[in-house]
Amino acid sequence: MKIKFKFLSSALSALLIAGTLSSTVAFADSKDTVVVSLGADLKKEQKTEMLNRFGVTYKQIEAGDVKQIDITNQDIREQLGMDTSKPIPKNSVSISSCYIKVLGKGEGVNVSTHNLTEVTKSMLANAIITSGITDAKVIADAPYEVTGTAALAGVLKGFEKSTGKELPLENKEVARKEISVTKNIGDSIGPDKAASMVSDAKTQVIKDKPKDEQAIKKVIDKTSDNYEVKLTADQEKQLTKLLEDVNKLNLNYNDIKSSLDKLNENMQKSLEKAGVILKENNNLLHKISMKFDSFANWVKGIFGKAAEEIEPAKLDTKKADPSQPKQEGNDASQGDVLDKTTK
């Protein structure tokens, strides 16, 4: 009996170790793997155009160096947790295409976009992290201008194809809602400012895990005040619901902290370049300025007092002796001035 128990124990341990190792190996192998997702409704020449923009050749795909998948309207619905029972509208097409490269842990999410009119790179990066992706290089593009609302689906399916890991559907649904809410707020205050504000509020919720709706509203009030934004009642309601959904995901803050910090820092730097300075940063600059002024006045006071205590130098009022020859050109300080002027 003891032998049988030991055998089962050893077998179970071996399976657990094997499972851990296989998972580790799978993600190690997926690092640097490139997947290209192309809109299924693109024409052949448009697909070639997308591959060229992504720096990918058909030879790389044929050799297996790059994986290529097509994204249909059905894929978009399934990836984003949308209702698949309703018929697809005739005017709905899958055009957005994406390049996805899984990066090493700690490298963060790096997104660039082109020809997307409604979904910005910041919105997309935010949603990608919410969906469960923490380290990836993403390029979202289209051969002509599109809204870009389907781009997230291509990124998610591409990541799953690359890693062999299926992302939680509830995470993907919340990520889709995040883009929608951010777009709505962005219509009033600008897309970049909205993306940064939503990300800040989301980060605080993931970190603090508020216990109820009132606590979440306090996070929203504090964040919107920092951005000097007055949300409408509808916008506040949408953002509250979104953050409640984020809270329910129970995301591990330590697992995504690095990615969130890098993204938030980059977004705030972009805002500062555009002349938008957050209230807390502005207050910090004011405090630094006040400290500097105080220090300058302190130094000025010390030297001013010291100058008053020094006895004025006695001036030589002795008249020059006209019998002595004049000396010219021996003033070294004058030579320095002339030398500096002529350089």
Question: Which pLDDT tens digit goes with each residue over 170-202?
Answer: 999 999 999 999 999 999 999 999 999 999 999
DSSP notation for 123-181: HHHHHHHHHT--SEEEEEE-SS-B--TTHHHHHHHHHHHHHS-PPPHHHHHHHHHHHHH
- 155 close to 100: Cβ distance less than 8 angstroms: yes
pLDDT at res. 112 = 97
- Least confident piece of the model among 25-34, 299-308, 333-342: 333-342
Residue 113 is given by DSSP the state E
Segments making up each domain of the chain, as ranges: 27-280
pLDDT digits (tens, 9 = 90+) for 235-268: 999 999 999 999 999 999 999 999 999 999 999 9
Site of tokens 């809109």: 39
SS3 at position 98: strand
Distance CA 241, CA 101 (A): 32
Is the pTM of the predicted complex or chain greater than 0.85? no
In the predicted model, what is the mean pLDDT of residues 2-24? 40
Name the percent of the chain lying above pLDDT 90: 66
Per residue in 104-163, pLDDT (tens digit) is: 999 999 999 999 999 999 999 999 999 999 999 999 999 999 999 889 999 999 999 999
Closest among 176, 99, 97, 71 to 130, alpha carbons compared? 176
Where residue 328 falls (left for φ over 0; alpha for ψ -120 to 50; beta otherwise) is beta
Confidence at residue 280, expressed as pLDDT on a 0 to 100 scale: 74
> Which has the higher per-residue pLDDT, 323 or 209?
209
Question: Are 205 and 174 contacting, i.e. CB atoms less than 8 angstroms apart?
Answer: no
Q: What 3-state DSSP class applies to 292?
A: helix
Give the count of beta carbons closer than 10 Å to the beta carbon of residue 215.
14
